[in-house]
């Protein structure tokens, strides 16, 4: 599933994928894949992304149950 | 058809590690077998044709797949300097093996054996360096493409 929360937060802060990638120490491609929902990051990387975007893990990575069911 | 995966996340990671070790055991094993066969009879190319084919398929696949993903190496920097160094290592390895094999076959001509070994060293060094540089150019092109910033669609 695409991580739109992360993408919107990044755009809100006017940070490019490249800049975010540099801040958390990964490649731009990795950030792109997380936002596209094609790569599940480790908790460590999730933490680094949340710190860089000034939000909590819940804000970016928590999925509501009804959303899951709707997806299924 | 996609088969059902019975492994959980941790088991999947463990399985990938096991498969990775298996790959390197096969890679080193095939290389060792070819070197031993070369020592036994360097003229009998048919004896090592199977190993050589599998080894080359592994090398070509790995090269293609890593370049496609924009991956160079875990530890080696993608620079001309490191290419010079690692092609030199390959050259020395081939030079020494060739020298030893020739000395085994023609102990009465040590100088000729040294010259053949040196030729093996120089040719391997040049060919390996050229291939590594070619891969480096492809890698840099690929990484530039992968790292291009996409336009954020609303």
Please give the share of chain B, as a percent, with pLDDT higher than 90. Answer: 77
pLDDT tens-digit map of A20-47:
999 999 999 999 999 999 999 999 999 9
Taking the domains of chain B in order of start, what are their residue ranges?
Answer: 10-68, 74-148
This model of the complex carries an ipTM of 0.70
Greater confidence (B118 vs B9) lies with B118
Tell me if B149 and A18 make a contact (CB, 8 A cut-off): yes
Find the closest chain B residue to A15 by CA distance: B152
Considering only CB atoms, which residues of chain B are within 8 Å of chain A?
Answer: 70, 146-150, 152
Q: Pick from B70, B146, B152: which is nearest to A11 by CB?
A: B152
Alpha helices by DSSP H, B44-109: 49-69, 80-105
Check B150 against A32: CB less than 8 A apart: yes
- Chain A residues with beta carbon closer than 8 angstroms to that of B153: none
Contact predicate A64/A1, CB 8 Å = no
Quickly count: other Cβ atoms within 10 Å of residue B80's Cβ.
Answer: 11
User: How many angstroms separate the Cα of A7 from the Cα of each of A36, B74, B106?
Assistant: 9, 29, 69
> Would you call A17 and B149 a contact, using CB atoms and an 8 Å cutoff?
yes
pTM exceeds 0.95, yes or no:
no
- Give the whole-angstrom CA distance, residue B78 versus residue B142: 13
Find which of A17, A19, A30, A34 to mutate to test the B interface (most B CBs within 10 Å of its CB): A17
**pLDDT greater than 80 at residue B151:** no
What's chain A's length in residues?
72
Q: What is the pLDDT of residues B74-123, one digit of tens each?
A: 999 999 999 999 999 999 999 999 999 999 889 999 999 999 999 999 99
Q: Which residues of B touch A27 (CB under 8 A)?
A: 70, 146-147
């Amino acid at each position: 599933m695409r991580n739109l929360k992360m993408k919107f937060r990044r755009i809100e802060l006017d940070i490019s994928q490249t800049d975010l990638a540099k801040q958390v120490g990964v490649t731009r491609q990795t950030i792109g894949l997380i936002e596209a929902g094609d790569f599940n990051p480790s908790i460590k990387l999730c933490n680094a992304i949340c710190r860089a975007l000034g939000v909590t893990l819940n804000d970016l990575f928590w999925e509501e149950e009804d959303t899951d069911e709707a997806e299924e | 058809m996609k088969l059902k995966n019975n492994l959980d996340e941790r088991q999947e990671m463990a399985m990938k590690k096991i498969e990775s070790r298996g790959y390197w055991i096969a890679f080193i094993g095939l290389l060792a077998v070819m070197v031993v066969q070369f020592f036994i009879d360097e003229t009998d190319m048919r004896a090592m044709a199977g190993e050589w084919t599998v080894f080359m398929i592994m090398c070509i696949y790995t090269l293609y797949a890593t370049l496609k993903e924009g991956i160079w190496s875990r530890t080696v920097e993608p620079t001309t300097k490191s290419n010079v160094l690692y092609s030199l290592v390959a050259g020395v390895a081939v030079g020494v093996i060739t020298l030893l094999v020739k000395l085994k076959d023609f102990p009465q001509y040590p100088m000729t054996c040294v010259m053949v070994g040196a030729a093996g060293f120089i040719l391997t060094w040049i060919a390996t360096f050229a291939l590594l540089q070619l891969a480096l150019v492809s890698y840099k092109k690929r990484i530039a493409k992968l790292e291009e910033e996409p336009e954020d669609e609303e």
